[in-house]
Amino acid sequence: MGEDKETKERLIESAKAEFTEKGYMKASLRKICADAGVTTGALYFFFTDKEDLFAAIVGKPLDELKNMLLGHFAMEKEMPLSEIYEHIDGGHDELSAALMHHLYANYDAFMLLLTKAQGTRFEGAVDQMVDMIEITYRALYENMARKIPNKQVNPYMLHWLSHMIIDAFIHLITHERDESRAVVIMSRIMNFLVGGWMDLVLEDKEY
């Protein structure tokens, strides 16, 4: 079985295995091809180079993820502030459930992207996501700051919190294989984070 799978498919499968085992840089194209039962030349019919092969695994899931984030934030932008407060408190579960579902639906890809991408153009993907989140939250918090006297956004904390959110996802996907359990965990984590949130990011101006 599986032997009549298309070559491209087989290459991607063995690439996943090799990248997972050795990381991008130490992964050997020779081995990937051998495992897929073809010669190196064949690989170059389907992919332009090593990185393209990696991209074939992680590219689409990553783009979809970005679009989900973008879509969500676009939505928030158009909300009145009052709704946003609710959204922050309650809506996280909704978004994070959706994200989580996407993450776990593409488990292998995100595993590679988040932990084995060093040496590829994706090695900055985590930071990019952090930045995406950060930009959105900056808008949000600065909006708040303007309405509360003597408060300002602390940029470091903003960045760190953005990082923590992403790290929470990474930690989850690398430590909990079951999606439904992961959703429960993430819910509790978000509650925790949101608790101390505002005090940390919004500081008194004399700081």
Residues near a copy of itself, by CB under 8 A: 23, 25-26, 118-119, 156-157, 159-160, 163-164, 167-168, 171, 175-176, 185, 188-189, 192, 195-196, 199-200
Distance of CA 184 to the CA centre of its chain: 18
Choosing from 29, 68, 69, 189, the residue that interacts with DNA (CB under 7 A) is 29
Sole window of 44-52, 59-67, 100-108, 158-166 interacting with DNA (rule: CB under 7 A): 44-52
Sole window of 45-53, 65-73, 121-129, 164-172 interacting with DNA (rule: CB under 7 A): 45-53
Sole window of 40-48, 151-159, 168-176, 197-205 interacting with DNA (rule: CB under 7 A): 40-48
Q: Measured from the CB of residue 18, what is the shortest distance to DNA in angstroms?
A: 9
CB 117 within 8 A of CB 129: no
5 makes contact with DNA (CB under 7 A): no
181 makes contact with DNA (CB under 7 A): no
The residues, ordered by sequence, that sit 6+ positions from 58 with a Cβ below 8 Å of its Cβ are: 109, 110, 112, 113, 117, 122
85 makes contact with DNA (CB under 7 A): no
Choosing from 42, 168, 185, 200, the residue that interacts with DNA (CB under 7 A) is 42
Helix (H) or strand (E) holding 16: helix 7-26
Choosing from 12, 27, 65, 140, the residue that interacts with DNA (CB under 7 A) is 27
Q: Which residues are bridge partners to 204 per DSSP?
A: 151
What is the three-class DSSP state of 3?
coil
Q: Measured from the CB of residue 61, what is the shortest distance to a copy of itself in angstroms?
A: 22
List of residues contacting DNA (CB under 7 A): 6-8, 26-31, 37-46, 48-51
